[in-house]
Amino acid sequence: MELIEGRDTKENWKLPKNVRQMGEPGSGTKILIEDYVYTYLQQMAQNNLTCIKTAVLAGRTEKDSAVYIEGAIEIDMGQEVKEWFSHEHWRDIFQDIRSWFEGLEVVGWYMANPGFPPVLSEDLKNLHMRNFSGNTHVFFQTDVLDHEEVFYMRGEKGLAPVCGYYIYYEKNGRMQEYMSHRKGGIGIEPEGVMKDRAAARFRNVMQEKKEQSAQKKMLAFLYTSCMFLVLVILVIGVTLVNNYDRMASMENAIHQISENLETGTESMEEAMEEENRQAQTELAEAASSQEGAPADNGAEEAGSDPPEEEPSEPVEEETQQPEEGAAPADEADAESSQESDAETADGASEPESGEEVQEVLSQAVKEPDRYEVKVGDTLLSICRARYGTDDMLDRICEVNELEDGNVIYVGEIILLP
């Protein structure tokens, strides 16, 4: 039952929020030392670099899952390792724990030997095994000159170094009071007067992490943007290469269509000119035929007059009846004069009828153009575009029977004379 509860507690254990990792802690029991305790141990070792400094670590444990070091009590046990942790030393240790760290228990000890690397000698190993028999008791050894430090903890093969640990941050009032007492009331900032050094250090660490995170995000964004641009360029290049032939064929087709349009326009213009020439030729032939008709009739009448005078033989009858033939002669003269007058009138009127025919035919050729009104057109703009002047405006209104020249509609068909 105890094993099951211990395993569940170890699996559900979580680190505090404000933590800095030192080294690479394994999957076993975690070691967490409070920032003020860690700072006090470093200061204690640096105050005197000519002798060994020792201290007892106070804190609490959580069933083989974690060891929290919340206090440190400095103990001057001399320079002989064999004389350490005597009964007098333990009496003073427990008295200081009751005075400064009530409720905490001994979780290990600390030793600083400046100038000597942290090596676990046989004497130190036996000293720890003899005075700290628990599996969660730790041994913290440092060399402040070379900045080397190692935590030791009991394992399957005895006391062995731990690969890493954690420094956590919180407002440890009891440790601050103890540090102030050891330094005669100085060395710890009064609360409310100066900023908390641990909080400041934590803020600096968090700021560095934020800056690193922002830099990583920016680099990731730039990398993503560059990759996207490269992909876009590749897609555009592949598309251009694949569509090059299509673009070339399309260009040739457009060129042929434009040439065909130009050829068709020229042929249409030539056909219209040919039709105009034919129409003018037909009109000229018609006019000449109309003008030649009266001359032929006059010639026929002139040629027909002499046969009427052939009966000249019966002279006796005319002489015998002079009174009766006088009147018919006069009538014949009158009739001939009337016929000559009619011929003259016909001859005079023939040219007039030919000119009228010419005018009618020319007007038939020059029929008004049809124009579809577009958006923005006015009668005045159409007149200016067509004739280059405003004089034909009234004529356009007259041809299209427009009472108001300012009112035209989009899509309306008007005639342009």
Q: Which long-range contacts (CB under 8 A, 24 or more apart) does 132-138 make?
A: 132/106, 132/108, 135/29, 135/64, 136/29, 136/61, 136/64, 136/67, 136/107, 137/106, 137/107, 137/108, 138/31, 138/57, 138/67, 138/69, 138/107, 138/108, 138/162
Q: Who contacts 31 (Cβ-Cβ below 8 Å, separation ≥6)?
A: 25, 66, 67, 69, 138, 151, 153, 162, 165, 166
Query: What does the alpha-carbon distance between residue 221 and residue 236 come to, in Å, rounded to a whole number?
Result: 22
Average pLDDT on 394-409 reads 86
User: Of 388, 383, 381, 375, nearest to 400 (Cα)?
Assistant: 383
Q: Which residue has the higher pLDDT, 266 or 226?
A: 226
Tell me, yes or no, if the pTM score tops 0.85: no
Q: Are strands 105-112 and 53-61 parallel, antiparallel or unpaired?
A: antiparallel
H-assigned helices in 58-117: 87-100
Q: Angle 393-400/379-387 helices, nearest 10 degrees?
A: 110
Residue type, 114: P
Query: Looking at residue 80, what is its pLDDT?
Result: 82
Q: Say whether pLDDT at 82 is over 90.
A: no
Q: Are strands 53-61 and 30-34 parallel, antiparallel or unpaired?
A: unpaired
The structure tokens listed for 125 are 């190993």
User: What letter does residue 190 receive in the DSSP assignment?
Assistant: P
Query: What does the alpha-carbon distance between residue 417 and residue 414 come to, in Å, rounded to a whole number?
Result: 10
Q: Are 97 and 104 in contact (CB under 8 A)?
A: yes
Q: Are 119 and 139 in contact (CB under 8 A)?
A: no
Q: Say whether pLDDT at 59 is over 90.
A: yes
CA angle 186, 143, 91 (to 5 degrees): 60
- Across all residues in the chain, what is the average pLDDT? 76
The structure tokens listed for 146 are 């070379």
Average pLDDT on 331-346 reads 49
Q: Say whether pLDDT at 416 is over 70.
A: yes
Q: Say whether pLDDT at 316 is over 50.
A: no
Q: Which residue has the tokens 């030649």?
A: 292
Average pLDDT on 34-58 reads 90
